[in-house]
Amino acid sequence: MTTLRLLLAITVLLIGPQAHAHGSVKGLGDFMGGFLHPLFEPAQLVALIALLLLVAQRGIHESTAVIGSLAVATAVGLTAAVMGWPASTDTALLIAALLTGLTVTLARALPQAVLMVLAAAIGLGIGLGSAPEGLKGARLFACMAGTWFGTCLYAISGVTLLEEFKRPWTPVLIRVVGSWMTATALLVLVLVLALHTVGPPPTSNDEAVNHPMGR
């Protein structure tokens, strides 16, 4: 029951309105605003957690190319967003998180190229979805640099922490958390699809027009 409540809480957070605007966090400056940005965007956070679990499962020394793909793709995405090609990438990030979390849960060995593609997709999604608003010049560069540095650091530090405090039950814990990320991403994707299929609720004006007495 506790696990179900946790998944529901994460789901509500993911499908709820975004409380954090792209750009600086008030009082922290441009670099720190960008640095913390992935932690304030639920879809980005779930995708990053799934990826660091995948890297931790393989070992950081065997996943250098995967981390490199994340770093390069994030830089490319940020550059594209600043050049005027931002995109809403939450759905794409949730799909990437679903696939990555499923890989972690099943603990199946995949080709290095597949893992690099997953990391690149997550990095590109974070970059394209992190276009700073209302920033120019040095402030814009500082915010971009913070987002890039934060994305890479969260992945590396998370993996390092798991390896440093590795216990006999750590592999099981990684697979359990990976299953949570998979379930969360899948649940949110189903809800988003259902909302798009049903469409927005009718407004009072629409109801008045369609009502027999309003014709």
Digitized pLDDT (tens) for each residue of the chain, 215 residues in all? 454 444 445 444 444 444 344 555 556 788 998 999 999 888 999 999 999 999 988 887 778 899 999 999 999 999 998 888 878 888 999 999 999 999 999 988 888 899 999 999 999 999 999 887 777 888 888 999 999 999 999 999 888 888 787 788 888 999 999 999 999 999 988 887 887 777 555 555 555 445 555 45
Q: Can you tell me the distance from the alpha carbon of 14 to that of 169, in angstroms, rounded to the nearest whole number?
A: 29
pLDDT at 195: 76
CA 195 to chain centre: 20
CA 98 to chain centre: 11
pTM: 0.78
Q: Can you tell me the distance from the alpha carbon of 122 to that of 114, in angstroms, rounded to the nearest whole number?
A: 13
